[in-house]
Structure 1
Amino acid sequence: MTSPATRRHFLSTLALGSLAARGQEAPKYPPTRVITQGPGFHWFGYYDKLQFSPDNRFVLSNKVSFEHRSPTADDEIEVGMVDLQDNDKWIPLGKSRAWCWQQGCMLQWIPGNEFKVIWNDREKDQFVSHILDVKTGEKHTLPSPIYSLAPNGKEAVSCDFARVADCRPGYGYAGIKDRFFDQMAPAGSGVTHVNLETGAPKLIVSHETLAKTGTVMENHPDSKHHAYHLLVGPDGKRFIMLHRWTQPKGGHLTRLITANMDGSDLRIVIPNGYASHFIWRDATHILSQAKDWLGNKDWGDFLFEDKDSGIVSEIGHGVLDSGGHLTYLHNNEWILNDTYPKGVRRIQTPHLYHIATNKRIDLGEFHSPREYTGEWRVDNHPRSSRDERWVCIDAPQEGKGRQLHLIDIQGLLT
């Protein structure tokens, strides 16, 4: 019996041979190298966090000793960074027991600070966050976890990670039970504002408020409401949240809502229950995946104004992938994106999309074995360096599990 690696090599060779038989050249992709290695598996998580240091030398990463199962309360990961100027040396920074496969422990550089990083952890029965100066080693702990940081580096918004773990496994943290497990839309939990100097959290939008704001379709007596996927805008004045509520037969419906940093002025930007990955284009516009807009019944990438039902236009129909993770680059002229595994070979394809010309540049093909599915899948989640020279993705490496891959996109954003 042939091994999985042999079969994958055969499929890859067969595909390349088929291209040659048709007189076609194999695709030419930009240079890529793997910058982490065993023992252990490495990944960063979500696409909307600062992974690269301000000087683009260090790349943050999580490190774990296992794959292919849900984290438990006892599973601890290491957080660290890769030195791109010293043979991709791994530099440990700390530990965390508050993490998930999709978003790690919210490890990221603090905006406006050259040496400080932050990540979430659990201490006894409380989720916390650590701020570390990677140069001096000075560390202090805040009595609250964080989700998305404001550009000023002084404040953040966060969510109830215990409730998210209950309502949307794979995105919350193990180890603490939801205080409001039996309540469908509790008034005592929701989105919090966090002062990064004092760590003091303040509830600014409750789940009860969300459940009572606007029209919530298919809101059943046993629909549990939760808010997460938070992202502060580029001017630091407002933030996005996804308001989700569970359905009796499984799954959930979703609204995209924005608010001021104090929780006021809620705007239901996508009200129809179908919203997904998003990114701020600027302080007044949001690019989001949604469906059933502008006559398109399928999922697509749509530009919205930051107002109630603020649809503007569809972007890249049929070219820009409608299920990927979006980032604007090069003065908002380009979009960085990826795909979920596609085809028999389960290939993920990070890509660049030029808005003005409707041109797409694929950055590589990354095979995702079938064991990487569901909660412990490995989405590429492409992240750009500050100077837009590099793109870093998470992807399985043949025989070595999930690792960080660095793609050189120099010269492509022209």
Structure 2
Amino acid sequence: MSELSSKPAKAITSSSKHHFFGYYDKSCWDASQRWVLGQESMFMDRAPNAGDTITIGVIDTHNKNAWRPLTQTSAWNWQQGCMLQWLGDGTEIIFNDIGPDGFYARIINIETEAERKLSRPIYAVNRQGTHAVSLNFSRLQNQRPGYGYAGIPDKWEAVATPTDDGLYSLDLQTGASELILSLADAANFQRMPEFEGKLHRFNHIQFSTNEQRFAFLHRYKTPDEEVGRTRLMTMNLDGSELRCLSDHGFVSHYDWQADKAVLAWSGRHGIGDRYFLFEDKIGGDIQIIGGERFKTDGHCSFSPDGQYMLTDSYPDETDHRSLLLYHIERDELTTLGRFYSPPMEWQIRCDLHPRWNRDGTQVCIDSIHEGHRQMYVLSI
């Protein structure tokens, strides 16, 4: 059922249950590149309800891809799982869960099984594993089902731009958190007339390589819209130097180019939708990457050495998703594979979400081209 142009994709999880990692903006490999993080579900044909659990585990690539279960969580979705990721370069993992007091993050050492809990859930974690940025997952679930978590209503549901909810910094050592940008403050920054009467939210946060600066999407919509309109913004972890890199209404997936610029599939007036590279400075340069080679949105990321861009596509007219590798300097685009993706309800779809390993020699994807949701690895 899969149609590959060059590279074979090898399943590293068993078809007895469904497995996935989630988003494209973090590596599922540990620093040694032996262990691969994954999530295991008993079903794949519906969105998770409150109380539905997934099992978190690691795959031992040095032992026939043996699956080792670690724990479970009830805060997850099909797009991004439970925000599961390695914490720094050690043996700890971090992910979100739900308890009597709401959503929160858990940190577990996979060797000693020692565990600690944080007061807030995490969205993005810096590379050193010292700080995170958090947001309101109930608001996200209410305004964009499939990216938040079921189980807790948003207490600001009827408030368009809350003054006491937004982005929070979270110290992963002490557990201390602080509101660094409210939705009201974001809406008042370089305010646009089209903000009026819209519900505002934050989504898709990612740190740059300098550990202190991060990017995020500021989205706003009417109650009957699905996504709405978007601005691409950046700021420092202490809440300073807020910038808007793009305000032409449409921004989707993105990745940092070190700490200098942000590559994003976005729209620009008079040009249309392309991969644009936005310099992270006031009045910064904007470049088109790849020209018209890329026809659709995809989950883009730079290789560890910065020479390549990896991305994917949404299903074409034959219901296949393409896995694409682009050499930036040579302007060369290679199709690594095409994977059958049967039509599914949008909230439970299985995007490839391609992820690099630590040295850029392998790529891991989630796919359902063999009839069940599994994790696959391709050598580059």
**Which of the numbers 355, 362, 366 marks the counterpart of 2:328?**
355
Q: Match for residue 301 of structure 2?
A: 327
1:220 touches 1:248 (CA, 8 Å); kept in 2? no
Whether 1:380 and 2:352 are equivalent positions in the alignment is yes
Q: Return the index of the structure with the highest Cα Rg.
A: 1
Which of the numbers 187, 190, 204 marks the counterpart of 2:166?
A: 190
Q: Do the aligned residues in 1 keep the contact of 2:278 with 2:284 (CA within 8 Å)?
A: yes
Q: Mark the CA change 1:377 to 1:311 in structure 2 (over 3 Å): closer, same or farther.
A: farther
**Residue 300 in 1 paired to residue 274 in 2?**
yes
Deviations 1:321-349 (A, max 9, x none): 54111111152111011111111x21111
Distance across 2 between alignment mates of 1:114 and 1:396: 31
Please give the TM-score of this superposition, normalised by the length of structure 1: 0.88
- Written as runs of structure 1 = structure 2, the 5 A alignment for 1:198-347 is 198-221=174-197, 223-247=198-222, 249-251=224-226, 252-293=228-269, 295-297=270-272, 299-308=273-282, 310-320=284-294, 322-343=296-317, 345-347=318-320
Q: Which residue of 2 aligns with 1:4?
A: none
| Among candidates 44, 53, 57, match of residue 67 of structure 1 | 44
**Residue 94 of structure 1: CA displacement?**
1.1
The structure whose RCO (Cα within 8 Å, separation 6+) is larger is: 2
Q: Deviations over 1:270-318 (max 9, x none)?
A: 112211111000212110111125x412x11001111346342100022
Pair 1:390 & 2:366 matched: no
Partner of 1:20: none
TM-aligned CA distance change 1:27 to 1:115, over 3 Å: closer
State the distance in 1 between where 2:174 and 2:304 align: 35
- Contact 1:396 1:403 (C-alpha < 8 Å) held by counterparts: yes
Alignment RMSD (CA, Å): 1.6
Tell me which amino acid in the other structure corresponds to 2:109.
D
Question: Within the alignment, does 1:159 sit opposite 2:159 as a pair?
Answer: no
The percentage of aligned residue pairs carrying the same residue is 36
Amino acid at match of 2:190: G
Q: Mapping of 1:17-32 within 5 angstroms?
A: 28-32=5-9
The CA deviation at 1:140 is 1.3
User: Are 2:304 and 2:359, in contact at CA under 8 Å, matched by a contact in 1?
Assistant: no
Structure 2 unpaired stretches of 5+: none
Distance 2:18 2:342 in 1: 15
* Distance apart, 1:201 and its partner CA: 1.8
**Which residue does the alignment assign to 2:126?**
150
Deviation at 1:202, TM superposition (A): 1.1
Q: CA deviation at 1:27?
A: 6.2
Structure 2 distance, partners of 1:408, 1:248, is 44
Structure 2 match to 1:22: none
Deviations 1:43-82 (A, max 9, x none): 1111111310101111111111112222111111111111
Q: Distance in 1 between matches of 2:70 and 2:281?
A: 41
Cα distance in 2 for partners of 1:193, 1:101 equals 25
Say whether residues 1:407 and 2:378 are aligned partners: yes
Q: Provide the secondary structure at the position in 2 that maps to 1:80.
A: strand
Q: Which SS does the other structure have where 2:75 is aligned?
A: coil
For 2:222, the aligned partner's letter is Q
TM-score relative to the length of structure 2: 0.96
Contact 1:268 1:307 in 2 (8 A): no
Amino acid at match of 1:153: G
Paired residues, what number?
Answer: 379
